Amino acid sequence: MSKCQGCGSVLQNENPNLDGFTKKIDNVLCERCFRIKNYNDYKKVIKTNNDFMPIIDNISKTDDLVVLVVDLFSIPASLNTIVDNLNNDILLVLTKRDIIPLSVYDERLIEYFDNLSNRIVDTVICSAKKNFHLDELMNKIFQYKKTNNVYVVGYTNAGKSTLINKILYNYTKMEPMITTSLLPSTTIDAITIKISDDLTLIDTPGLLEDGNILDYVDVNVLNRIVPKKEIKAITYQLKDKQCISVDNILLIENEDVNNITLFFSNSLNIERSFKNKDKSNLVLHRVEVKEREDIVISGLGFIKVMKHGIFNIYVLPGVLVYTRKSFI
Ligand SMILES: Nc1nc2c(ncn2[C@@H]2O[C@H](COP(=O)(O)OP(=O)(O)OP(=O)(O)O)[C@@H](O)[C@H]2O)c(=O)[nH]1
Ligand SMILES: [Mg+2]
């Protein structure tokens, strides 16, 4: 029984609709990984979280260090599903720093996670893409690991596999081999990678987040929603007769006058106009925002508001909208 080198699924040549399908059973990659790697051809797979919790349960029975990877652009509404079920020491890794404006202080980002869990032994801010702080990450992994095995866990799309590929590239003679992609559920099963005689990293499939906009748009829109470089935040003064639209996936209205700053991918079409836009495909959320809070549109980005206010947020059905303490 051999496993796909890219996603960890068991290779099989019987059912093209199931994970791990390959026409030739002695291939090292399944067909999906082969197509992602060679043609950038993504196929959405539908997964549930049923397979995720047993992995966390098994990790919690060990003494192994856990590296919890969190995407700074798309911080999940709750990390408790993961941290509360682990008895292990956790190294918190805040990745994709290259997306968040440089003007944001690292201290504020770290502070944001202060009360998450007393299992967290330390925090590293990094970017796999820009090779930022990876030496610090490796030093801390060696500092805190109690055994040779270190598990890399987190939500889907957090950047776990990209980080391990970068570690392979920087610190070993092996080729980066794990499949990565913009789409959720790229890694299907655990992938064990021996980095050195005293370090083995285990990549794991990510937890799915309910209400993430990436599950509700097609691949073309998704490609523009996911920022590829530092976000240039855009500030508007929003008056009562105006609204801001983001493609045809989000519309923001306010009953008062307020300054709002949008942290979204700059590839999206953001426009200010009068409140007569068609929003028949969108669902209304009435959101009260207090001072020093942001409005989060799960997977799409966040909005900083200048002062207390009540906003009408219209977004695609199913997408989670909530407020959180601001780190800006
Ligand atoms: N800008 C930026 N993008 C990153 C970084 N790390 C990962 N990404 C991108 O984030 C997306 C998801 O990366 P993956 O490594 O596949 O994420 P994952 O956590 O392994 O996801 P699953 O396997 O689904 O659990 C890809 O499009 C990566 O290119 C980073 O440091 N900066
Ligand atoms: Mg992965």
Q: DSSP per residue over 177-208, as a string?
A: -S---SSS----S-EEEEEETTEEEEE-PPBP
Closest CA to 219 of 20, 49, 5, 35: 35
Residue 143: inside a domain: yes
Residue 226: inside a domain: no
87 and 202 share a domain? yes
Question: 57: domain range?
Answer: 42-209
172 and 317 share a domain? no
Residue 222: inside a domain: no
Residue 224: inside a domain: no
Contact yes or no for 72/97 (Cβ under 8 A): yes
Q: Give the atom of ligand 1 at the shortest distance from the alpha carbon of 203.
A: 20
Question: Which ranges of the chain have pLDDT less than 50?
Answer: none
Residue 20: inside a domain: yes
131 and 196 share a domain? yes
Mean pLDDT estimate for the chain: 94
124 and 235 share a domain? no
Question: Which residues are within 8 A (CB) of 25 and not within 5 positions of it... i.e. 6 or more apart?
Answer: 2, 11, 12, 13
Q: What does the alpha-carbon distance between residue 3 and residue 9 come to, in Å, rounded to a whole number?
A: 5
167 and 250 share a domain? no
Note the pLDDT of residue 321.
98
Reported pTM: 0.96
Note the pLDDT of residue 276.
81
Contact yes or no for 69/159 (Cβ under 8 A): yes
Q: Which two tokens stand for residue 121?
A: 């032994």
Q: Give the atom of ligand 1 at the shortest distance from the alpha carbon of 130.
A: 31
Where does a domain end: 147, 175, 209? 209
Q: What total of structural domains would you count in the chain?
A: 3
Residue 7: inside a domain: yes
Q: Residue 91 maps to which CATH number?
A: 3.40.50.300
Residue 63: inside a domain: yes
How many C-beta atoms lie closer than 10 Å to residue 223's C-beta? 15
132 and 185 share a domain? yes
120 and 264 share a domain? no
272 and 312 share a domain? yes
Measure 189 CA to ligand 2 centroid, in angstroms.
9
191 and 236 share a domain? no
Residue 220: inside a domain: no
63 and 187 share a domain? yes
Measure 328 CA to ligand 2 centroid, in angstroms.
28
Measure 155 CA to ligand 1 centroid, in angstroms.
10
Closest CA to 82 of 66, 65, 104: 66
| Per-residue pLDDT reduced to its tens digit, 55-112 | 999 999 999 999 999 999 999 999 999 999 999 999 999 999 999 999 999 999 999 9
Ligand 1: which residues within 6 Å by Cβ? 95-96, 98-99, 127-129, 154, 156-162, 180-182, 184-187, 205-206
Q: What does the alpha-carbon distance between residue 112 and residue 116 come to, in Å, rounded to a whole number?
A: 9
82 and 189 share a domain? yes
Note the pLDDT of residue 69.
98
Contact yes or no for 289/305 (Cβ under 8 A): yes
Q: Which two tokens stand for residue 19?
A: 């994970």
243 and 317 share a domain? yes
Measure 217 CA to ligand 2 centroid, in angstroms.
20
